[in-house]
């Protein structure tokens, strides 16, 4: 069972569609950012990436306008 704290933990792993929704980007853009190294990620297989919530927050901070 997961509680609310687990769902917002810094080490929570997010799928690319979840990250795309958060950032308002296309899923293909998130995959491209992962492949290019722009977005820190964990690669589980050839097309399976996960992004830590903490890495996403750092990414957002670094790219804030």
Q: The CATH number of the domain where 41 resides is what?
A: 1.10.1660.10
Residue 16 falls inside a structural domain: yes
CB atoms < 10 A from the CB of 30, how many?
25
The predicted pLDDT at position 47 comes to 75
- The SS3 call for residue 29 is helix
Paired tokens of 15: 């799928």
Angle value at C-alpha 28, between 40 and 12, nearest 5 degrees: 40
* Per-10-residue mean pLDDT, the chain, length 65: 57 96 97 95 91 96 84
**Report field, pTM of the whole predicted structure over 0.85:** no
Residue 53 falls inside a structural domain: yes
> What's the number of domains the chain is made of?
1
The range of the structural domain enclosing residue 16 comes to 12-62
């Amino acid at each position: 069972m997961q509680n609310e704290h687990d769902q917002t933990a810094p080490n929570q792993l997010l799928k690319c569609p979840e990250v795309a929704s958060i950032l308002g980007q296309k899923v293909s853009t998130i995959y491209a950012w992962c492949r290019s190294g722009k977005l820190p990620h964990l690669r589980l297989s050839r097309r399976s990436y996960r992004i830590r919530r903490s890495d996403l927050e750092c990414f957002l901070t670094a790219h804030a306008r």
